[in-house]
Chain A
Amino acid sequence: MARQGSKGGSGGVASRRAFLKGGVAAGAAAGGALATGALGGSAMAQNADNMAPNVADWSRYLGEGVDARPYGTPSEFEAHVVRRNVEWLTASPESSVNFTPLHDLEGIITPNGLCFERHHGGIAEVDPADYQLMINGLVDKPMIFTLQDLMRFPRVNRIYFLECAANSGMEWRGAQLNGCQFTHGMVHCLMYTGVPLKLILEEAGLKPNAKWLMPEGGDSSGMNRSVPIEKGLDDCLVAFKMNGEALRPEQGYPVRLVVPGWEGNMWVKWLRRIEVGDEPWHTREETSKYTDLLEDGKARRFTWVMDVKSVVTNPSPQAPLLVKGHNIITGLAWSGRGTIDRVDVTLDGGNNWRTARIDGPVLPMSLTRFYVEFDWQGEDLLLQSRAIDSTGDIQPTKDELRAVRGTNSIYHNNGIQTWHVRSNGEVENVEVS
């Protein structure tokens, strides 16, 4: 009996744990020793007992039955694929942000549990039985809708990205955070199921002088923003499902506003009220915050739309190149103004570009996935991607952005990102001439 598998069930668990530990250790070293050592082989610690010609435990013994996981979760070997925050960025976790692990994901849909979080007063835990949406202000009748009411309206399914206006905000003055999770991870893309806001507003009846909407959250920050009525009547949704299931509490359960293509702060979570008015409110989140301070001290306000943007997610600092030879560059592109028409990728810091292959759905105001396949023989690379959208907007360089906006803007940094790939496969966030 040479095979470890003959140890039986408990031995199987032990060997799985050993495997996991090895895998995690390798993951933690990403960006360090792993890349150097990995060039000759694989990224993960391996157990020969599980590999040909041996027969692994999982091939021999029964696994868990159907009721073991009533709500499925990812494999234990994927435990490193999590949202992460940068603790020193904010004063408290209740008013803070964490980041989507873009480098660990594929396609264009973000798994529900990995969508970045941004709260201003913590997560409101709303009982759906007590949920109410109030519509008041310049309407024929102020109205209250329950969750059951909302689910009796005609509903639609739409895929949209949501990007925080402060995504990449740390990078205005220069390269800062080493990982696309941290530089670009305040974005996610989901299929929402919801009611067109237009139908709900019409049910209350808009007065002729209705020009602005003020969605308000039911959390302890009472998040409120001014939304022009044209947008509200155009494509906004009152959504109650994400990727087919109920919204997660941290994404606004049971109901959030969807404001396609516009900055994430406007997508009010735990939506409890929409007031209709004839002027904007100039709330805290559209004056003190989410305004774009320029070099001359003036500040742009009501900068709602998210501009065309892209980033190479792999390789990136958390996902080094492991093996020489045939490799794949992949990333995401998006625009709040329409669809992605084209993504160009450079390996030499912007001197020469090639057009990437786009695969998967290309939808307006949605993430779009792109690929470039190439042969790598250990040479230094300066990777960038540049997206162009259906309105002809071109993703600018960071220097082009700084030339018109300075470096105090915080918000709306859609500049081209550069990753430096070293000969050992390590990747670093850099800026280039």
Chain B
Amino acid sequence: MSRFPELARVGAATLALSLLLAAGAASAGKFGIGREARDEEVAGWDIDIRPDGQGLPAGSGSVQQGEEVFLELCAACHGDFAEGVDRWPVLSGGADSLASEDPVKTVGSYWPYLSTVYDYIYRAMPFGDAQSLTPDEVYAITAYILYMNDVVGDETFVLSQENFADMRLPNEANFIPDARPDTPTLADGEPCMSDCKGQVEITGRARILDVTPDSDESN
């Protein structure tokens, strides 16, 4: 009782039903814990999309349709042209900026796969109203983002379940595997313990000195 006080709030019928389900379709595993998930349960939660298109629902949407939805639901944070507002993410532009002092990492300049756009928009957007968009709306918004990034040039372009996996983003080839450790290890020798540097100079100081909020106001 102490571990599961919430059980008291569960109706007897519901409890009986779940016990019945558990007994009726137990796992094949050695503990016999849990129950088999029904198809409609999996369908309701299985929302992920892969680069090869696995997981995409039926549907389609055009750049023009996407513009309408984007202006209504997305532009307040991401800007009318997906250029970003305040500190909210910039979704367009940034071409050829990755090797500069000020890289702008957008869908067009940085993201390797279009599936990520669809997957993320459906699961997490609009911010504060996740998993509320229809497949056609997500296809349309994705098409609009492609257009704003010059990945497609025709505003009549229609993105769909059929042509989705054929789409390529420009920066796909620039992702490489982890190469760490990439700094000296003990295999390169013991680190120096004495008289390592000679004169040591301060070369930089904290730019932001007042990050610590006033203590009696921070509570």
Q: Residues of A at under 8 Å CB distance from B?
A: 21, 24-25, 27-28, 30-31, 79-80, 82, 84, 86, 88, 90-92, 94-95, 120-121, 127-129, 134-136, 140-146, 148-149, 151-153, 174-179, 181-182, 199, 202-205, 214, 216, 220-222, 224, 272-273, 275, 277, 279, 281-284, 287-288, 291, 293, 295-305, 307, 317-318, 344, 348-353, 382, 386, 388, 391-394, 396, 400-401, 404-405, 408, 412, 420, 428-433
Contacts and interface: CB of A to CB of B under 8 A. Distances in A.
Nearest to A307: B180
A382 to B, nearest CB: 6
Contact of A144 (B37, B123, B196): B37
A191 to B, nearest CB: 19
Given A129-B9, A275-B48, A205 B28 contact: yes
A174 B204 contact: yes
B85 to A, nearest CB: 9
Contacts of B213: 84
B174 A299 contact: yes
Nearest to B113: A282
B77 to A, nearest CB: 7
Contact of B124 (A80, A120, A152): A120
A422 B186 CA distance: 33
B51 to A, nearest CB: 6
Contacts of A134: 37, 41-42, 45
A179 B212 contact: yes
Given A82-B219, A400-B183, A298 B204 contact: no
A394 B203 CA distance: 23
Interface stretch (B60-68, B104-112, B138-146): B104-112
A394 B7 contact: no
B24 interface: no
A303 B119 CA distance: 21
A95 to B, nearest CB: 7
B211 A204 contact: no
A388 B124 contact: no
Contact of A301 (B27, B87, B176): B176
B88 A144 contact: no
A380 to B, nearest CB: 9
A430 B99 contact: no
Contacts of A304: 178
Contacts of B51: 279, 282
